[in-house]
């Protein structure tokens, strides 16, 4: 129980993630190196999020120091490229963010729909 | 360096002028002079076909063991690494129509870069701020009392200690000015409501 509370506190502290961090985190549900992450995020966001290398490099460093991802040495052929893998804490944070974003979307949708129907009523 | 294919240019840019420096390098490339290497305040250009090339400077404090990993990531993303000057790394990529390639794609990470640059400047200030009042105090005390009758000591103070104090004051002013300029850049980015 105590450790659960501690974990929740830690997740709360890490949230909300920036869009960049969130996309990097979910793309690392499979191990990838830096350029692989860029390509995957670009594809997932349908070309909207084109991560700059400076942004990605900084984000990876931060995420490693926060314990969300781990670097591992890759195979001989691509030894110059670090491969990253998500940690347990990283996966928990994704779930926490999905719940939070879901709430945002739900509230946004409900209130905007309410306004729309009100607008239709006054138009008539 | 008499070779016509190379040109050596000495030029000073301050830490908060990296945008100006990037523009200058781009203009040089348009004239066919492509950056080949850098030294301290020194730029070596190589003659080639005039091309529209975009240069970006990245400020990064990293261990030498991590430079390979860092440069590889940038090169994978389409940036050619040229060289470094201190903590500044020089990259370039060919200009493509309608594209403004940036090393930093969000404001959060851009601010982080400027923050680390500002920190370095503040740390550089430290020893000067610590020693300068002491230096001035000693000069004033010596000239008004201690060495009144000693011409040699007076000469040393006027010719060496005093110019040194003035020089350090100028350096300190310049660094403080830099910190203010960088703070203004950060403030400007913060006004953008995007992350």
To the nearest whole angstrom, how far is the Cα of B85 from the nearest Cα of chain A?
A: 17
**Among A102, A107, A92, CA closest to A14:** A92
Give all domains of chain A, ordered by start, each with its CATH number. Answer: 2-123 (1.10.10.10)
Pick from A49, A52, A58: CB nearest B112: A58
Q: What is the pLDDT of residue B99?
A: 61
Residues of A whose CB is below 8 A from B104: 52, 54-55
The model carries a pTM of 0.86
Residue of A nearest to B79 (CA): A53
pLDDT digits (tens, 9 = 90+) for A60-88: 999 999 999 999 865 555 567 899 999 99
DSSP track, A31-81:
-EEHHHHHHHHHHHTTTS----HHHHHHHHHHHHHTTSEEEE---GGGTTS
Residues of A whose CB is below 8 A from B87: none
Residues in chain A whose Cβ is within 8 Å of chain B: 18-20, 34-35, 38, 49-59, 80-82
In the block, tokens 């996966």 appear at A91
B159-182 average pLDDT score: 94
Q: Would the CB atoms of A55 and B109 count as touching at under 8 Å?
A: yes
What is the spatial distance between Cα A82 and Cα B110, in angstroms, rounded to a whole number? 23
Q: What is the pLDDT of residue B144?
A: 82
Pick from A52, A54, A80: CB nearest B69: A80
* Strand ranges across the sheet with A83-86: A32-33, A83-86, A69-72
pLDDT classification of B83: cutoffs 50, 70, 90: very high
DSSP 3-state assignment of B95? coil
Q: How many CB atoms lie within 10 A of CB A98?
A: 12
Q: What is the pLDDT of residue A103?
A: 97
**Average per-residue pLDDT in chain B?**
91
Instruction: Please report, rounded to a whole number, the percentage of residues in chain A having pLDDT higher than 90.
Output: 76
Collect contacts of A67-70 with beta carbons under 8 A, ≥24 apart: A68/A14, A68/A25, A68/A93, A69/A25, A69/A28
Q: What b/e string do you get for B120-150 counting C-beta neighbours within 10 Å, with b at 16 or more?
A: bbeeebeeeeeebeebbeebeebbeeebeee
């Amino acid at each position: 129980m105590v450790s659960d509370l501690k974990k929740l506190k830690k997740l709360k502290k890490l949230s909300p993630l920036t869009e960049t961090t969130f996309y990097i985190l979910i793309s690392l549900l499979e191990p990838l190196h830096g350029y692989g992450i860029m390509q995957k995020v670009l594809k997932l966001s349908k070309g909207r999020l084109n991560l700059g290398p400076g942004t990605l490099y900084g984000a990876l460093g931060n995420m490693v120091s926060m314990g969300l991802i781990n670097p591992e040495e890759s195979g001989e052929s691509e030894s110059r490229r670090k491969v990253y893998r998500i940690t347990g804490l990283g996966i928990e944070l994704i779930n926490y963010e999905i719940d939070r974003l879901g709430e945002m979307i739900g509230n946004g949708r409900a209130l905007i729909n309410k306004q729309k129907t009100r607008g239709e009523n006054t138009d008539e | 360096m008499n070779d016509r294919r190379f040109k050596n240019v000495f030029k000073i840019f301050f830490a908060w002028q990296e945008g100006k420096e990037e523009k200058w390098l781009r203009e040089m490339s348009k004239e066919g002079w492509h950056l080949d290497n850098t030294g301290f305040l020194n730029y070596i250009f190589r003659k080639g076909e005039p091309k529209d090339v975009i240069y970006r400077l990245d400020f990064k404090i990293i261990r030498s063991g991590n430079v390979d990993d860092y440069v590889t990531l940038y090169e994978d993303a389409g940036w050619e690494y040229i060289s470094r000057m201190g903590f500044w790394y020089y990259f370039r990529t060919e200009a493509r129509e309608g594209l403004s390639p940036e090393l930093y794609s969000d404001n959060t990470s851009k601010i982080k870069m400027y923050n680390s640059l500002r920190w370095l400047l503040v740390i550089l200030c430290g020893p000067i701020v610590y020693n300068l009042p002491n230096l001035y105090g000693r000069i004033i005390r010596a000239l008004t009392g201690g060495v009144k009758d000693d011409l040699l000591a007076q000469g040393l103070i006027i010719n060496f200690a005093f110019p040194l104090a003035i020089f350090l004051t100028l350096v300190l002013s310049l660094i403080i000015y830099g910190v203010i300029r960088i703070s203004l850049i950060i403030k400007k980015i913060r006004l953008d409501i995007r992350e």
